[in-house]
A and B are shown apart, each in its own frame.
Chain A
């Protein structure tokens, strides 16, 4: 559960971080698109020129996002314009695209796919030569020129969003207000707003997914504790009989079992926390470009409470059986 919640949050945080890395102040998306859409290019490229004509707007660059497989996308952008708005990529290996059939990948994607400058990679039914490996955190993991991506995906003249920079951050609200007045139905966000909106609550289905995971965790916790305690009660029938012969009340026997249950739940929570660190390590080593997992300390308590709830639920019947154990039958148990 901690791993899955960490993955949900990590992936969203990664999207937000890379959006911030663009260096823009405002983003304009096509009407009717979701905040984190993998859709291609439903907006005209002419929007960039329109935005550049607006007061206080100093830069505007359109980008196109195209889904590849899973959550991996490739982004097309006019690299010279993108450099002006973002300050450019930081090349760790190789350099900028200098000819057709070249691609830029970030260091996470390069590590995951064992790529370096000069390597060849097959995407969109053609081979690409890696021109440069850049530091991750800006825009996308795979970047090619905008017109190339538009041609390859039959989206000539279309883009997915426009990144806008204004002359002074203080003018951002005024520019947004002006744009919203002119571009009805277009989602227009400041970068602060955009990154704050990229959360679990705003991704359709994610809350439900986490709820399902929690329900599964409770069921698994219930089953594990139920089976282990049920077995323990059977195995310790004689010991329970001894305790009852010594005068242990049903509450005393229940207390012992519930203390074991609490210990199991706490141990399970601790293991879950350690497991989330382990999975993050594995993800960072093997799939840093595909998955991003965060450690979620604010969920440790929630996970503990869920584990405890499932465990106590699972301990109820074995505990009831143990408390009602007849001492004479229990002592005769072999």
Chain B
């Protein structure tokens, strides 16, 4: 393993719900080396999704240090975090979150367009599509694709801009066991063949078993976060 792509120190996140303060993260420390396939496992309400959102630049931390690809997210403005999402982070969601009116190809293309790279020729990406097994399904809209195919399109969209990290939040939560295994194998292939850093969040031990390393989260704290 090489240098750390993610460094989290004493990360805290407090949500205010009316008069009540909810401490979602209570001092998280985490280091993820470049190229690692890490799984954050834990029950619902443990703070996994909050960590996912902060690492993805969707949410600002309350305190602590979060460095992703050399950028300290705790010091970034909304606009800077938006820019970071464009070039540093790829998301894979449980519900796929493809745009229903666009074809698979356009769902991938819009990510390139947002990143300002729609004119770039990228032969590497053709290989990725072959690897994902969706090269012949690109002209279909999400409603015409199976759950497994939709998730593979979502993965292709997530990595099309060569993100530093791929964040996957329960990526198999809406898939049957066969498609789940296929998607997880694909994620592992992406990690092993392309060196893609992946941070996967799940509560399922079977899913977690595909990762190099598993850290457990409970009540806003990581139980074992050492590399």
Q: CB within 8 Å of B: which residues of A?
A: 238-239, 241-249, 252, 327-328, 331
Contacts and interface: CB of A to CB of B under 8 A. Distances in A.
B4 to A, nearest CB: 23
Contacts of A327: 58
A203 B69 CA distance: 72
Given A328-B53, A328-B59, 10 more contacts: A239-B100, A242-B97, A243-B114, A245-B56, A245-B91, A246-B157, A247-B83, A247-B115, A327-B58, A328-B58
A246 B79 contact: no
Interface residues of B, number: 23
B59 A252 contact: no
B186 interface: no
Nearest to B89: A247
B141 interface: no
A332 B135 CA distance: 30
B99 A242 contact: yes
Contacts of B53: 328
Contacts of B23: none
Contacts of A242: 97-99
B97 A238 contact: yes
B37 interface: no
B58 A246 contact: no
A331 B86 CA distance: 17
A238 B59 CA distance: 17
B87 interface: yes
Contacts of A243: 99, 110, 114
A328 to B, nearest CB: 5
B83 to A, nearest CB: 7
A246 B91 contact: yes
A327 B56 CA distance: 11
Contact of B85 (A238, A239, A245, A331): A245
B115 to A, nearest CB: 6
B99 A247 contact: no
A259 to B, nearest CB: 13
Interface in B29-55: 53
Contacts, number: 44
Interface string B99-122: 110000000001100110000000
B82 interface: yes
B86 to A, nearest CB: 3
Nearest to B102: A239
A247 B56 contact: no
10 contacts: A238-B97, A242-B98, A246-B111, A246-B114, A246-B157, A247-B84, A252-B114, A328-B58, A328-B59, A331-B97
B114 A247 contact: yes
Contacts of A331: 93, 97
Nearest to B57: A247
Nearest to B50: A328
Nearest to A245: B91
A252 B99 CA distance: 16
Max chain B Cβ within 10 angstroms of own Cβ: one of A238, A244, A245, A249: A245
A244 B93 contact: no
Given A327-B58, A328-B53, A328-B58, A249 B82 contact: yes
Max chain B Cβ within 10 angstroms of own Cβ: one of A243, A247, A252: A247
Nearest to B161: A247
A32 to B, nearest CB: 66
Contacts of A248: 82, 114
A236 to B, nearest CB: 9
Contacts of A244: 82
B93 A246 contact: no
A225 B188 CA distance: 47
B223 to A, nearest CB: 25
A325 to B, nearest CB: 12
A238 B99 CA distance: 9
B97 A247 contact: no
A252 B111 CA distance: 12
Nearest to A334: B95
Contacts of A252: 114
Contacts of A241: 97
Nearest to B169: A331
A327 B54 CA distance: 12
Nearest to B157: A246
B58 A247 contact: no
Contacts of A238: 97
A248 B89 CA distance: 13
